[in-house]
């Protein structure tokens, strides 16, 4: 698709572009669709807020965060902001998608009166948390052979995203294999409060994002992103 004549395509007539999309090898096209749907999910006010919050953690140099915010907000819309971040700032993209996932969860459970200690985020402590979650699920439900925990800081809050493996099962998706329970928890040192929520989402999507909420077909997504650096999104050789 890198050789595709994008200049000859009108935004209202993308049929040739979609035909070229279908000609891409299935495995490569599937990965591109996952990424495109994730970018589509982030193309809204909550998604942009998550991007800006994660950028504040990464861009700590004087004026760096302000420059990034000004650049992003100068773009015409949320689709442009999400695509630009995905393409140009991969270091903060993953964390931003995690924070967005937390922002879209419901039914949070709150636990107060915890010890007023800073959250333990060292690698050794994260390994202990992974082992504790894995041990709990293995002994109570016979699952969670593996578990991964990712910590993220957001302002004064510490977020923890846990991925305990669910029960193994036969799946028609060759790359899925099993489900993962993506749990999000954030801890406030100031109020000694922990708040947690969880959502069951399929792998491999759980490796990089929450379950896609972008409505519509891939044709709709291509139409949305056609004027938004789509050619830069397509990998070389596609």
Q: Which positions ≥6 away from 229 have C-beta within 8 Å?
A: 80, 83, 84, 87
pLDDT of residue 220: 76
Helix (H) or strand (E) holding 153: strand 147-154
pLDDT of residue 1: 63
pLDDT of residue 53: 96
User: pTM to 2 decimals?
Assistant: 0.77
pLDDT of residue 156: 82
Asked if 192 and 113 touch (Cβ cutoff 8 Å), the reply is: yes
Encode the chain (238 residues) as per-residue pLDDT tens digits.
666 666 676 767 778 878 888 888 888 888 888 898 999 999 999 999 999 999 999 998 889 999 999 999 999 999 999 999 999 999 999 999 999 988 888 777 777 777 777 888 899 999 998 898 888 888 888 877 888 888 999 988 888 888 887 765 544 343 333 344 455 566 665 565 666 665 544 433 434 444 455 545 677 777 777 677 777 787 654 5
Strand partners, 2: none
pLDDT of residue 91: 92
Domain residue spans of the chain:
6-105+213-233, 109-208
Burial class (CB within 10 angstroms; exposed 0-12, middle 13-18, buried 19+) of 123: exposed
- Which strand ranges, in their side-by-side order, compose the sheet holding 147-154? 109-111, 193-202, 178-188, 157-168, 147-154
Asked if 130 and 96 touch (Cβ cutoff 8 Å), the reply is: no
pLDDT of residue 213: 52
Asked if 151 and 158 touch (Cβ cutoff 8 Å), the reply is: yes
Q: Which two tokens stand for residue 124?
A: 């050794």
Asked if 41 and 100 touch (Cβ cutoff 8 Å), the reply is: yes
pLDDT of residue 211: 43
d(CA 32, CA 16) in angstroms, rounded, equals: 18
pLDDT of residue 172: 39
pLDDT of residue 198: 52
């Amino acid at each position: 698709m890198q050789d595709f004549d994008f200049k000859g395509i009108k935004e209202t007539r993308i049929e040739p572009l979609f035909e070229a999309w279908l000609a891409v090898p299935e495995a490569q096209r599937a990965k591109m669709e996952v990424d495109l749907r994730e970018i589509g999910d982030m193309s809204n006010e909550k998604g942009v807020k998550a991007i800006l919050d994660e950028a504040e953690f990464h861009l700590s140099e004087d004026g760096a965060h302000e420059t990034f915010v000004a650049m992003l907000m100068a773009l015409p819309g949320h689709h442009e902001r999400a695509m630009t971040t995905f393409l140009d700032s991969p270091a903060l993209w993953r964390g931003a998608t995690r924070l967005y996932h937390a922002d879209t969860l419901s039914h949070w459970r709150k636990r107060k009166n915890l010890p007023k200690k800073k959250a333990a985020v060292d690698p050794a402590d994260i390994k202990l948390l992974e082992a504790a979650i894995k041990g709990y699920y293995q002994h109570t439900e016979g699952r969670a052979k593996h578990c991964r925990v990712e910590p993220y800081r957001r302002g004064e809050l510490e977020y923890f995203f846990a991925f305990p493996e669910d029960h193994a099962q036969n799946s028609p998706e060759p790359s899925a294999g099993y489900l993962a329970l993506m749990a999000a928890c954030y801890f406030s040192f100031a109020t000694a409060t922990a708040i947690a929520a969880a959502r069951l989402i399929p792998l491999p999507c759980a490796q990089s994002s929450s379950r896609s909420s972008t409505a519509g077909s891939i044709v709709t997504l291509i139409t949305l992103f056609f004027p938004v650096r789509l050619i830069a999104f397509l990998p070389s050789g596609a």
